[in-house]
Amino acid sequence: MQKAITFKITHRLPGTLARAGTIETPHGTIQTPAFIVGGTKATVKALTVEQVKACGGQSILANTYHLMQRPGAEIIHKAGGLGKFMDYDGPTFTDSGGFQIFSLGIAYKKGIDAVAHTQKGSAAQAVKSANQLAKVTDQGAQFRSHLDGRYIMMTPESSMELQHAIGADIHMAFDELTAPLAARGTIVKAMQRTHAWAERCLVRHDELNAEHLARGENLQALYGVVQGARDETLRRQSANFLGERNFDGYGIGGVFQPGEIADVVRWVCETLPEDKPRHLLGLGSQPADLFLGVEYGIDTFDCVAPTRQARNGALYTFDGRINISNARFREDFAPIDAECDCYTCQHHTRAYINHLFRADEILGATLASIHNERFVVRTVDQIRASLLDGTFFNFKQSFLARYYGDNLPIGVTL
């Protein structure tokens, strides 16, 4: 069967796992490394697709968990697929929704790990609490909808059917996420279940692609998702197992902090096949994530943090992050960042955006989101350029030293 996507490595950085290349999809080429813009519900919050393109976004990732519930995969399919539904003609991704199913709003350090760090709770108690919301068996995961409380059953097969109906270029296999502090036995069991589910995903995915081919439609690609928490043996075992299967690429799940990248991502990327693209799921909320991810072998990232933080008034600048709602910006008539080329910085001042946030005007969220999305996309583009011309380490040092000063994240070195 013909390939749904093709991946080509054009440059490597000696002494590292970093590489630059291209991913060819039915809807265009992604120059890697690349930041994939988060469009969870078939929308990048507060932005039109034209604004996403103007920010330099090469691709958008949507979430299966949310789209299956509203508006429903069938409606998106009837509209002609994700791209046509949202009027976007570029490459698209969907994740399986596994993180949302297993966390159900219990975010890292706000749920499972947070409970485990209190005097009243333990990791085991926290995991038990989470399991009350999602019941996981070898068949799949049963969970309650966050919208109406109804029970939904997700299996590897139904995840593939939903993602094919949504119709993105690249999908993620259905996997089981565990809490980072869960007992090793729990992590092992979840990894083994993830592997079994991955094989079932492949079977159903290939069946659905055969149907697409028979109808003369575009093929869709599938990435296996590597798990194993913070255990080197398990991470390498998972990467080996999935690397031997015929996936089009690989997602790396369960990485939450920059300090984990140098170890966890390195273990995985050293083990996975070199000729397949690697995607780091849900990480990219700060510049350190991007530099370390690329250095240790990541080709693409996705994260909703740039627009989420923007809507809360937290804006990136080359000299660090600022809160635009602060009183000190009320009479600041400079752009958010004088070195930024985004629409917001070219047309508006800190004082104006400060006013919009204080007045609770919707435009504030849009202008802030334009800036943050452009900042992150542009940073990864500059990282790619530094790989091409061999200046990566100089660029990394100058960028991160300026952005963080003496407050480098744990595990980050210059």
> What are the catalytic residues?
95, 302
Predicted pLDDT of residue 145:
85
Residues 6 or more apart in contact with residue 238 via CB below 8 angstroms: 191, 194, 195, 226, 227, 228, 268
Read off the tokens for 414.
Answer: 């210059």
Q: What is the mean pLDDT of the chain?
A: 92
pTM > 0.85: yes or no = yes
Among residues 149, 141, 178, 179, the alpha carbon closest in space to that of 64 is found at 141
pLDDT tens for 55-94 read: 999 999 999 999 999 999 999 999 999 999 999 999 999 9
* Window from 255-264, 289-298, 329-338, 358-367 with minimum mean pLDDT: 255-264
Checking if the pLDDT of 221 tops 60, the result is: yes
Predicted pLDDT of residue 411:
82
* Window from 57-71, 121-135, 194-208, 325-339 with minimum mean pLDDT: 121-135
What are the angstrom distances between the C-alpha of 400 and each of 202, 230, 283, 396, 403?
40, 25, 17, 6, 5
Measured distance CA(22)–CA(388) in Å, rounded:
13
Strand 249-252 and strand 278-280: the pairing is: parallel
- The residue extents of the domains of the chain are 25-303, 314-404
Read off the tokens for 9.
Answer: 């490595």
Number of H helices, E strands in the chain: 18, 16
E strand or H helix that includes residue 80 = none
E strand or H helix that includes residue 153 = strand 151-154
Give mean pLDDT, residues 181-196: 95
The residues with which 148 forms a beta bridge, in sequence order, are none
* Window from 29-33, 111-115, 379-383 with minimum mean pLDDT: 111-115
Q: What's the CATH superfamily of 25-303? A: Queuine tRNA-ribosyltransferase-like (3.20.20.105)
The residues with which 280 forms a beta bridge, in sequence order, are 252, 301
Contact between 228 and 260 (Cβ < 8 Å): no
Amino acid at 361: E
pLDDT tens for 121-132 read: 444 444 444 445
* Window from 147-151, 189-193, 335-339 with minimum mean pLDDT: 147-151
Measured distance CA(191)–CA(408) in Å, rounded:
32
Checking if the pLDDT of 110 tops 80, the result is: no
Give mean pLDDT, residues 100-111: 52
Predicted pLDDT of residue 358:
98
Q: How confident is the model at residue 179 (pLDDT cuts 50, 70, 90)?
A: confident
Contact between 179 and 112 (Cβ < 8 Å): yes
Measured distance CA(187)–CA(48) in Å, rounded:
40
Q: What DSSP state is assigned to residue 230?
A: T
Strand 141-144 and strand 134-136: the pairing is: antiparallel
pLDDT tens for 245-289 read: 999 999 999 998 888 999 999 999 999 999 999 999 999 989 999
The b/e string for 282-317 (b: 16+ C-beta within 10 A; e otherwise) is bbbbbbbbbbbbbbbbbbbbbbbbbbbbbbebbbbb
Predicted pLDDT of residue 384:
98
Among residues 79, 72, 78, the alpha carbon closest in space to that of 41 is found at 72
